[in-house]
């Protein structure tokens, strides 16, 4: 039995080593947010509602999307796109508001989250390269909210998103 367990452990180590180092989920989320901010997000037509953006994006990426409505927090959904640099099936929702852009990354499955739980609903908060990331799980999905806001503001927006 010990030999079998040792063999399984060795095979598992070899599999992980062959994959090479991969950055943490929060680091990939921050990198995606910074890339989106660097290229700028173009606003949709004024008549395009968040539900229309979500429906169109879900059809484009081939998966249902539960886009948080952040209008009450002063953020308007601009668009959605696949974000394979974060995860093979990740989708980035891009928001614009008075306090700057926000990116909400939606990743299928429960992923390991960084940082301590800082708010009701199990919202984790971590800073990566000076950018805060609030993250939580909901219905088999991992959400990461990234923005250049104060931690308290980001947590308030994340709580709104997580309660929907």
3-state helix, strand, coil in the chain (%, to 5): 35, 30, 35
Q: Per residue in 56-105, pLDDT tens?
A: 777 767 777 788 999 999 998 888 888 999 988 888 999 999 888 999 99
Q: What is the CATH number of the domain that holds 91?
A: 3.30.200.100
Q: Is residue 10 part of a domain?
A: no
Is there a domain that residue 4 lies in?
Answer: no
pLDDT mean across residues, the chain: 80
Classify burial at 30, counting beta carbons within 10 Å of its beta carbon; exposed 0-12, middle 13-18, buried 19 or more: buried
Q: Which of 136, 130, 134, 141 is nearest to 157 (CA)?
A: 134
State the DSSP string of 91-107.
EEEEEEETT--EEEEEE
Place 111 in a pLDDT band, splitting at 50, 70 and 90.
confident
Q: Is the pLDDT of residue 47 over 60?
A: no
This prediction's pTM: 0.79
């Amino acid at each position: 039995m010990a030999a079998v367990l040792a063999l399984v452990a060795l095979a598992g180590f070899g599999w992980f080593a062959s994959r090479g180092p991969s950055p943490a989920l929060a680091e990939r989320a921050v990198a995606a947010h910074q890339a989106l901010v660097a290229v700028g997000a173009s606003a949709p037509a004024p008549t395009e509602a968040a539900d229309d953006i979500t429906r169109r994006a879900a059809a484009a990426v081939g998966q249902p999307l539960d886009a948080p409505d952040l209008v009450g927090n002063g953020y308007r959904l601009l668009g959605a796109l696949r974000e394979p640099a974060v995860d093979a099936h990740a989708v980035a929702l891009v928001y614009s508001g008075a306090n700057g852009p926000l990116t909400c990354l939606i990743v299928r499955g429960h992923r390991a989250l960084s940082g301590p739980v800082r708010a009701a609903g199990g919202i984790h908060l971590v800073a990566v390269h000076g950018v805060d990331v609030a993250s939580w799980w909901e219905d088999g999905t991992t959400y990461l909210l990234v923005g250049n806001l104060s931690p308290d503001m980001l947590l308030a927006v994340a709580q709104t998103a997580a309660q929907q």
